[in-house]
Amino acid sequence: MEARCFRLWKVGILILALMEFSFATLSPSGVNYEVVALMAIKNALHDPYNVLENWDSNSVDPCSWRMVTCSADGFVSALGLPSQSLSGTLSPLIGNLSNLQSVLLQNNAISGPIPVTIGKLEKLQTLDLSNNSFSGQIPASLGDLRNLNYLRLNNNSLTGPFPESLSNIEGLTLVYVLAPFGLRIVFLAAIILMFSWKLVLVMLGICLFTVTSNASL
């Protein structure tokens, strides 16, 4: 009898754990926030090869979707869609995927501005938006990504100043930005001033610079 009660107790704990996980990603109306965000991303993109075909708004668990990776506790941790001939824009709702650690969207034809809401992704470590058609300024909100260590924005149509806020990211070790020729010197000067206290690889167009400080690394 005691053994049976112990087994039932363990089953009860497991059920409670599963319920806690489900409620963590569901709104009061029973909608999964991650599913809503991912579907907004899908709907803003043109997907000629239907690589996002199994992204389903009726699903409550996106972890089985193509190009989506989840953490051990079942939250979306990576979005990997490189080289899929995607066009359209990147939905601002990407900022609601609060457990993202990696976003790989390089080698597509995505246009429009880089969403300011990406700055809400506090766990993000890798952001690669290179070789697309993004335009406008680099959002200053990227400086809020305190865990970011890899940033590639080269081969887009970005304009404006290089955000000083990026100098606040202590672990950022790779910055890859391709600017129009007239802005390369401006970008380079800004980056050297901002990151001169640590090792940073800065690639601007045809040039590769290693920026270091006089202090030991």
Q: Is residue 132 part of a domain?
A: yes
Q: Please give the residue range of the domain that contains residue 163.
A: 30-211
Q: Is residue 71 part of a domain?
A: yes
pLDDT of residue 190: 54
Q: Encoding tokens for residue 144?
A: 């809020």
**Lowest-pLDDT choice from 22-31, 94-103, 148-157, 205-214:** 205-214
CATH code where residue 119 lies: 3.80.10.10
Q: Encoding tokens for residue 135?
A: 């335009």
Scanning 30-180, the segments in alpha helix (DSSP H) are 33-44
Rounded average pLDDT over 34-60: 96
Rounded average pLDDT over 123-136: 96
In 3D space, the residue among 74, 82, 73, 68 whose CA is nearest the CA of residue 38 turns out to be 68
Q: Is residue 65 part of a domain?
A: yes
Cα separation values, 32 from 55, 60, 76, 83, Å: 13, 6, 11, 28
Domain count, the chain: 1
This prediction's pTM: 0.75
pLDDT of residue 195: 54
Q: Is residue 48 part of a domain?
A: yes
Q: Is residue 191 part of a domain?
A: yes
Residue 17 per-residue DSSP state: H
pLDDT (tens digit, 9 = 90+) per residue, 157-214?
A: 988 777 878 877 888 877 776 555 444 444 555 555 555 444 444 444 433 333 333 3
Q: Is residue 23 part of a domain?
A: no
For residue 176, the SS3 value is: strand
Q: Is residue 198 part of a domain?
A: yes
pLDDT at 91 over 60: yes
- Spatial separation of the C-alpha atoms in residues 116 and 94, rounded to whole Å: 10
Q: Is residue 124 part of a domain?
A: yes
- Spatial separation of the C-alpha atoms in residues 34 and 150, rounded to whole Å: 24
Q: Is the dihedral of CA 95, 100, 102, 106 positive or negative?
A: negative
- Spatial separation of the C-alpha atoms in residues 157 and 202, rounded to whole Å: 18
Q: Encoding tokens for residue 18?
A: 């599963």
